[in-house]
Structure 1
């Protein structure tokens, strides 16, 4: 089973430093999700290398993969897609790439036009069996585009989508305080 992970960038969540409490909560949350998917048969996790949810998931994947034996790949959208990343984020991405079992580009060339994103999303969806996506319709985001394509694909194909909304993350926070 191959699981695609997608979600918000940190700035879309009001997170500007990894040390913010919100970032720590999301890292813990993603760790629990990765663990649950590993326990139900995910053999490969797929991310694109975006900051935010994908980086938090990658941390969990790197921490848990020895315990569970799954693998992970980073399929960057196109050449130079991360050129605008801050140096700190570029270093994190490089660590993630080094730790991945496979990494490559969906398009083996630089960005050319907005239509590339739709083709990239389609490729990722078609090459995964299910998706874990952090997306709440109440918060506008670019994540909406891949989510809508997942729904379109799901209409004619067996494709499980677990959409995480902020209510679920808040419930996770509440349960953490109860422990």
Structure 2
């Protein structure tokens, strides 16, 4: 798997309203646990669309792992121009820090937001341009990642396209394993 697409929930879908929330640590840990073995097996690119939440946290993970794995690169392919336009200053700063450390940045649609078709096009593009997906998603709490998951499943029907879901159970296990580490 040369290129892995990482996506998942937006922060508000997880009840996260600032970048210091305790839960982010476990999401980051779970992403890293899935990503490191892929890199060790030859993954060279992590691609995200740069949306707030799981994608930017995954971008942060990729930037951190680039220090250890020199072949790793981060690509940010936004669905449309200026997706961060209406975000608050803290979110814009975080976004800018990820973009400034990415190896490739571009927009799929060369226009500002016009409609949901741009988001559908983003899902199709990123799934078809990657070799597999890591997605923070639980089918019992659909939310926005549902659309990327649907596209990935459709694509996987006729292509070798692994989908590695990180569920709420996986996140709970990350919390519990860390609690056990503290007790030892």
**What TM-score results when the alignment is normalised by the length of structure 1?**
0.95
For residue 84 of structure 1, what is the aligned residue in structure 2? 86
For residue 18 of structure 2, what is the aligned residue in structure 1? 17
1:51 and 2:52 matched: yes
- Tell me the C-alpha RMSD between the 2 structures: 1.2
Are the aligned partners of 2:78 and 2:107 in contact in 1 as well (CA < 8 Å)?
yes
Distance 1:153 1:55 in 2: 24
**Runs of 5+ unmatched residues, structure 2:** none
Q: Cα offset for 1:33?
A: 2.7
Q: Cα offset for 1:115?
A: 1.9
**Runs of 5+ unmatched residues, structure 1:** none
Q: How many residues align?
A: 179
More displaced 10-residue stretch of structure 1: 93-102 or 36-45: 36-45
- Taking the TM superposition and a 5 Å limit, the aligned residue runs for 1:57-96 are 57-69=58-70, 70-96=72-98
Distance 2:20 2:115 in 1: 35
Per-residue CA distance 1:36-65 (angstroms, 9 max, x = gap): 321222100001111111121111111111
- Taking the TM superposition and a 5 Å limit, the aligned residue runs for 1:14-163 are 14-69=15-70, 70-163=72-165
